[in-house]
Amino acid sequence: MTNDLLILASNCKIITGHLKSILIDLQNQELLELSDWQFKLLKDISKLNKDEFIKKEIDFINSLIKKDVILKVPKQTLKYFKELNNEFENDSIINNSIVRINNSIVYYQDKLISNLNSVGCKFIEIRILDIMEKDILFEFLSRFKFTTIQSIDVFIPFNLNFTQCELINLQNKIFELRWIFIYSTPKNKLNNYNDKKLVNTLYLSHDINSKNCGVISSFYFAINIAMYTESLNNNTCLNCKISVDENGVVTNCPSIKENLGNLQFENLNEILLKKKTKKYWNITKDMINVCKDCEFRHICTDCRAFLEDPKDIYSKPLKCGYNPYTGVWEDWQTHPDKQNAIDYYGLRNSL
Ligand code: SF4
Ligand code: SF4
């Protein structure tokens, strides 16, 4: 090793939980579980005497240098390496929305879309609940052109009988479409149209019942700067999010039933002035029981709709089976501590 200093890249973070620590690489979206000696080595890497490193430490450091997780920096250039800005960068009042629709959307689609546009909404998930005329859906989706919406995911029931041709036509005309999910299908299947520069269609065998949401799993971890900084400052699911149902009723999400207002009679800006609308927005993982001791807290989404203790707004998400005090993932559905809450939310039949 040369005389250069070794530093941890500013977009790589060590997150320490009760039992374990992890290294997250926000640039390459990778996670590494650290052993005790690896944690001690990385924690003070710039202060350690490199001449005292033993072979396994040198090998470990070299493997991280290759990935740009550790940087070799001449001492005189150290001042140019800045810490990551921990502020969550967001230029929209509402970032994402979940909207349930049926044929009656024709009566207020202009108002809905202009309201979402006025708050800078970028991502929309559209859930079609029952039989809907394809022309009405197409007309609704085409109205997002020239709005702030950058990305549309749409959930279509299988019994709407969209043909491959119709799906491809939809994707060709609606540039904002990112994913199409066909739900309640006979079996799960992925249609990848990437070779045709089209979006993906995923066939899901399950329903999109609001009780199915909120499952916490390592599969859903998001290792990126937006998630990391949002987790430090805000709630990782509900911050800057709204949900609108087929009658125009606004809630925090489809599974949280508290009525915040109705878009058919109020503007979104008026609804956003109500204190209850932002009730969950600033609840961070560091405030939540158990999660605050979990090494995954800055890459994990947070569910406030289903809580282990429904009476405590700071309770751990019900649908998480991870125990940061033992480091073991267990099945949350059969865990004895969760049974009362499962009954409280009426989830028994949907397990
Ligand atoms: S709060 Fe829970 S149920 Fe609601 S959208 Fe987030 S994860 Fe899903
Ligand atoms: S304990 Fe909390 S932070 Fe950890 S995985 Fe579960 S929900 Fe996520």
Q: Which of 322, 326, 329 to mutate to test the pocket of ligand 2 (most atoms within 8 A of CB)?
A: 322
- Please tell me the predicted confidence (pLDDT) of residue 205: 86
- Please tell me the predicted confidence (pLDDT) of residue 176: 92
The pLDDT confidence band at residue 293, using thresholds 50, 70 and 90, is: very high
Ligand 1 centroid distance, CA of 71 (Å): 38
Q: Is the CB of 298 under 6 A from ligand 2?
A: no
For range 319-337, the mean pLDDT:
97
Strand order, beta sheet including 151-157 = 189-191, 200-203, 177-183, 151-157, 123-128, 96-101, 241-244, 249-251, 261-262
- Please tell me the predicted confidence (pLDDT) of residue 351: 79
Mean pLDDT is highest, among 77-91, 172-186, 322-336, for: 322-336
pLDDT tens track for 85-132? 999 999 999 999 999 999 999 888 999 999 999 999 999 999 998 778
CA pair distance 51, 30, nearest whole angstrom? 29
Q: Which of 211, 238, 250 to mutate to test the pocket of ligand 1 (most atoms within 8 A of CB)?
A: 238
Residue 102: name the closest of 164, 156, 153 by CA: 156
- Please tell me the predicted confidence (pLDDT) of residue 191: 62
The pLDDT confidence band at residue 189, using thresholds 50, 70 and 90, is: low
pLDDT tens track for 279-288? 999 999 999 9
- pLDDT over 60 at 70, yes or no: yes
- Please tell me the predicted confidence (pLDDT) of residue 211: 84
DSSP secondary structure code for residue 56 in this structure: H
Please name which ligand lies nearest the alpha carbon of 256: 1
CA gyration radius, the chain: 23
Percent of the chain with pLDDT over 70: 96
Residues within a 6 A CB radius of ligand 1: 213-214, 237-238, 253, 255-256, 303-305
Q: Which residues pair with 97 in a beta bridge?
A: 124, 242
Residue 294 Cα: closest atom of ligand 2: 4
Pairing of strands 5-8, 70-73: antiparallel
Q: Is the CB of 296 under 6 A from ligand 2?
A: yes
Ligand 1 centroid distance, CA of 350 (Å): 16
Task: Write down the residue that tokens 């927005």 correspond to.
Answer: 281
- pLDDT over 90 at 301, yes or no: yes
Ligand 1 centroid distance, CA of 303 (Å): 5
- pLDDT over 60 at 36, yes or no: yes
pLDDT tens track for 250-268? 999 999 999 999 999 999 9
- Please tell me the predicted confidence (pLDDT) of residue 230: 97
Task: Write down the residue that tokens 């005497």 correspond to.
Answer: 49
Q: Where are the domains of the chain?
A: 5-80, 96-208+240-278, 304-350
The pLDDT confidence band at residue 76, using thresholds 50, 70 and 90, is: confident
Phi-psi region of 341 (alpha: psi -120 to 50; beta: other; left: phi over 0): alpha
C-beta separation of 34 from 20 below 8 A? yes
